[in-house]
Structure 1
């Protein structure tokens, strides 16, 4: 298993530390509900406690960590209500991104690039973990192609929370993974510049994920 809690290869900054911790949370190395120990993390990252506290404070502000009085700092635990709220935010961000792509006239190239990822998902059928990573890659690219730094910044936290849910989602899919087909349809709707269909497919895609997670 890849470890994201390891000595930093470059000068330590709160931003780099926050990125490392965000990856560790998203990939399950720091698990939901887990308490974080400053001394242990500082040792593993090879940093002093000052920058570490600043990095952890950034993730607290993002909502990925929570401080409990007289107990310490913990990774959030995704309740059904949290899952619904997270996908509500993701849906709003990704619908805005897709509309921006279409309005800018970049939809044909964007749709082609997104379809290429969906094709790789088809090739990874039978490997839920690989399909899950490509799923994330698809949606990160979708928002990035909108060329909006603020949308991308807002999307970052919800994508980390999505990664936290990936393993729970994997077991809800059959051997023939439906996600590749869903993403191909979405990519084609974007490619053709069909804003109404794109919105419809994004809403259905998010609703399906929520239902799988909260009813598993």
Structure 2
């Protein structure tokens, strides 16, 4: 695992460590349910255990890590219930993003974000997950409401991991669908059509709630209770 971890030297230490941990989870270096070895990770990052624990606590608040008394931190293991809940939250945040964009961003900025979709790497599942998250980070940085931006980024971190973890045979089709949805969404916003942008997100969420959750299924009754 040491070869996959780089020294942390930038400012915002706990935030930077948190991003590194998210990347390690999404890339499969840290597995769902795996305990975080604080000593090894701190040494690998070149930091003390204090900032590492702070980062882990922040990720715990985002649902990516869980803590167990006297045992430490563990990578969260997604369930169908969590996937369904995640898409429900996404619906709320999508509405807020549409409102923020239509209120504060001009159409030229929307077109710039639309063009930025071309930068998303689609060659393989892990590269796509990392590149998609980077795209989302860039457009979230343009949002006017910074509380909304923080909540959106927290949600996208979870989708980052879900996108990388899901094991399917039709990954190319899935990637193409996600990219096309992004194009349709930002094209609608660039045209000032908020109603169509919202419909795109509703249709997309309905599809993925049915499609993704079963791949994380541990208890078939979990997803039928909503």
> Which category of TM-score, normalised to the shorter sequence, fits these structures?
0.7 to 0.9
Q: How does 1:203-214 map to 2 (within 5 A)?
A: 203-214=202-213
Report the secondary structure of 1:36's partner residue: coil
Q: 1:129 to 1:68 in 2, by over 3 A?
A: closer
> What does residue 186 of structure 1 align with?
185
Pair 1:89-2:96 in alignment? no
Listed as ranges, the gaps of 5+ residues in structure 1 are none
TM-score (norm 2): 0.78
Question: CA shift at 1:134, angstroms?
Answer: 4.4
* CA distance in 1 between partners of 2:164 and 2:55 (Å): 26
Q: How does 1:41-60 map to 2 (within 5 A)?
A: 41-60=41-60
Q: How does 1:106-145 map to 2 (within 5 A)?
A: 106=106, 108-120=107-119, 127-145=124-142
Listed as ranges, the gaps of 5+ residues in structure 2 are 216-226
> What does residue 145 of structure 2 align with?
148
TM-score (norm 1): 0.81
Higher deviation after alignment, 112-121 or 81-90: 112-121
* CA distance in 2 between partners of 1:209 and 1:33 (Å): 24
Higher deviation after alignment, 201-210 or 17-26: 17-26
State the number of aligned residues.
213
* 8 A Cα contact 2:18 2:55, kept in partner: yes
Alignment match of 1:162 (pick from 137, 143, 159): 159
Q: 1:207 to 1:69 in 2, by over 3 A?
A: same
CA RMSD of aligned residues (A): 2.9
Q: 1:68 to 1:175 in 2, by over 3 A?
A: closer
* CA distance in 2 between partners of 1:145 and 1:26 (Å): 24
Q: 1:24 to 1:98 in 2, by over 3 A?
A: same
* 8 A Cα contact 2:26 2:129, kept in partner: no
